[in-house]
Amino acid sequence: MKGSCMIIIKYTGRVDFEYDIQGLLRTFFPGEPMVTDREAEADLILEAEFCDYFETIPMVLRLEGKPYTDGGFQREAERTFRREGSFLPGSVPASDGEPDWDGAGSEEAYDDVRKETKNRLKRLLFDLLKEYTGKTPVWGTLSGIRPTKITSSYLEQGYSEAEAKQRFMIEYYVSGEKAEQCVTISRNEAEILRDVDYKNGYSLYIGIPFCPSTCLYCSFTSYPLSKYRGKTDAYIDALGKELKYIAEICDGRNPETIYIGGGTPTTLEPRQLDYLLGIVHELFDAKAVREFTVEAGRPDSITPEKLKVLGAYDVGRISINPQTMNQKTLDLIGRHHTVEDFLHAYDMARTCGFDNINMDFILGLPDETQEDVRNSMEWVERLNPDSLTIHSLALKRASRLNILKEQYKQYAIENSDDIMEITRRTAKTLGLNPYYLYRQKNMAGNLENTGYAKDGKAGLYNILIMEEKQTILAAGAGSSTKMVHPGGRKITRIENVKDVDLYISDIDKMIERKRSFFERRKC
């Protein structure tokens, strides 16, 4: 059993970055429990003394505890490290420690000072933890999920790619390789997003929360179809009611992208898919949509009849996701399909004329080795998909792999940049360029998820949902509307309930949540 890591934070001002501090600690001490009880027995104590945002008094961090390796805390002599640094001086006019809220743009200036305060604190802590552990995480101080938003903002401000890379490395301690990767993706994103209408445009997400079974690692809003088969028609009816309201508030304007996800939308029967897509076509001009995607993620949910329905309604992009091409892993994680099932589904889709197919893979699945990943990528090279998405396993709180972790503790979770490199080489061999990237908490190897695509086949919706530059209106159980306000600095989220039964019974309440926000404005 690993030791506990206790965080003690002493505030003398208004700094409130405990979430960021814990995120960085987890980067250096993956899997170690953390508590804030000052009296608890601990192997490591972080003591932080802060000042006010608008003061030049130094902040002080002191770390004391037993030596640490990847195997846990060692029962040896304790050691102490101390770091000291100052806040950003004189950025915002202040009186008695308070910002001048009457000045033009003062709220934005206040936010900027707070951000710089946080970045300085995290750099200070990173240096302290690097000295303590001897480790240098490649993603530096970053714990957020959208690193390319930072490099994109640099390019938008007029920095050259070389300047953007250098600034990213200096401000966030990101490795040169990761900085280069982010700048490249930001450049590719900018080209793909060049004609997107941020001011008046929007994207539409439609959630189908049913799956053939629940995978071991899954934490999405999904329900096994075997238990909800009798409720799918009622769910689609409720969904149609919400989509009708969305069409009304958008006053005839079409979405730029439509994405039907889940869950697994192709768990629906052909007649149900036909009915749902018919509603979408009736309410929106699908032929005018730049990208229409349907997740057909589970090969065991795909039939020729369903593919024909998708094609008849102008669905141009689908995703068929094996996650791995190793049968022993598929059996372990509860995918309930075989490698042969996937190959058959992929061939069916090509035969039906789909020329924009994505494949998803997860690195760090239980007991998967470099050789297993290499085998999966050899299959990718044979099949030559139009896009490829590589995920690093994220151990989510609601997943069975986490809830039943004692049951699976004998299985190794292995991911590294060497393993990621296998997938990067495959993408390069197939002419697939990186076009979006994001990170999540508790990712195997503290790495990232990356999307690759051939020219003209990048998933536009994938970029928009990550970069949060365009409003995304969402319908369905567990879906979240993201309303991007002018200027892009503020986003309002409107959540739907996750429970299918509640969504069906309370659909009018879901619509009212949207109505209360949109009644004074159009989408």
- Encode pLDDT of 422-472 as tens digits: 999 999 999 999 999 999 887 878 899 999 999 999 999 999 999 888 999
pLDDT at 98 exceeding the cut of 60: no
Q: How far apart are CA 470 and CA 464, in angstroms?
A: 6
Report DSSP state, residue 444: G
Contacts of 90 (CB under 8 A, 6+ apart): none
Name the β-bridge partners of 96: none
Q: How far apart are CA 158 and CA 360, in angstroms?
A: 34
Q: What pLDDT sits at residue 158?
A: 97
Where are the extended beta strands (E) located within 51-202? 59-65, 68-69, 72-73, 79-85, 94-95, 98-99
pLDDT at 122 exceeding the cut of 80: yes
Please choose, from the candidates 232, 364, 205, the residue with its C-alpha nearest in 3D space to the C-alpha of residue 292: 205
- Encode pLDDT of 16-72 as tens digits: 788 888 889 888 988 787 877 666 778 888 887 776 666 666 778 888 888 888 778
Q: How far apart are CA 388 and CA 468, in angstroms?
A: 22
Contacts of 146 (CB under 8 A, 6+ apart): 438, 439, 466, 467, 468
Q: Output the six-digit token pair for 427.
A: 């993408």
Q: What pLDDT sits at residue 139?
A: 96
Q: How far apart are CA 438 and CA 448, in angstroms?
A: 6
What mean pLDDT value characterizes the chain? Answer: 87
Q: How far apart are CA 229 and CA 267, in angstroms?
A: 10
Q: Output the six-digit token pair for 113.
A: 């000072």
Please choose, from the candidates 293, 283, 207, the residue with its C-alpha nearest in 3D space to the C-alpha of residue 257: 293
**Phi, psi (5° rounding) for residue 80?**
-130, 135
Please choose, from the candidates 188, 187, 165, the residue with its C-alpha nearest in 3D space to the C-alpha of residue 177: 165
For 390-418, b/e burial (b = at least 16 CB within 10 A) is bbbbbbbeebbbbeeeeeeeebebbbeee
Q: Tokens 């051939």 map to which residue? A: 454
Q: How far apart are CA 85 and CA 521, in angstroms?
A: 46
Q: In what order do the strands lie in the sheet with 5-10?
A: 34-35, 5-10, 44-49, 59-65, 79-85
**Phi, psi (5° rounding) for residue 385?**
-70, 165
Q: What's the mean pLDDT in 245-254? A: 92
- Encode pLDDT of 159-216 as tens digits: 999 999 999 999 999 999 999 999 999 999 999 999 999 988 999 999 999 988 767 6
CA angle in degrees (0–180, nearest 5) for 321-327-330 = 55
Question: What 3-state DSSP class applies to 56?
Answer: coil
pLDDT at 109 exceeding the cut of 60: yes
For 156-173, b/e burial (b = at least 16 CB within 10 A) is eeebeeeebbbbbbebbb
Q: Output the six-digit token pair for 220.
A: 């999405």
The long-range contacts involving 378-382, CB below 8 angstroms and separated by at least 24 positions, are 379/322, 379/325, 380/426, 380/430, 381/426, 381/429, 381/430
> Cα torsion at 159, 172, 433, 193 (round to 10°)?
-50
Q: What pLDDT sits at residue 40?
A: 72
Q: What pLDDT sits at residue 435?
A: 97
Q: How far apart are CA 434 and CA 451, in angstroms?
A: 6
Which of the pair, 523 or 80, is modelled with greater confidence? Answer: 80
pTM: 0.89
Which parts of 352-439 fold into alpha helices (H)?
Answer: 370-383, 400-403, 417-429
Q: How far apart are CA 179 and CA 175, in angstroms?
A: 6
91 confidence band (pLDDT: 50, 70, 90)? very low
Q: How far apart are CA 248 and CA 495, in angstroms?
A: 19
How far from 101 is each of 272, 334, 489, CA to CA, in Å?
55, 55, 18
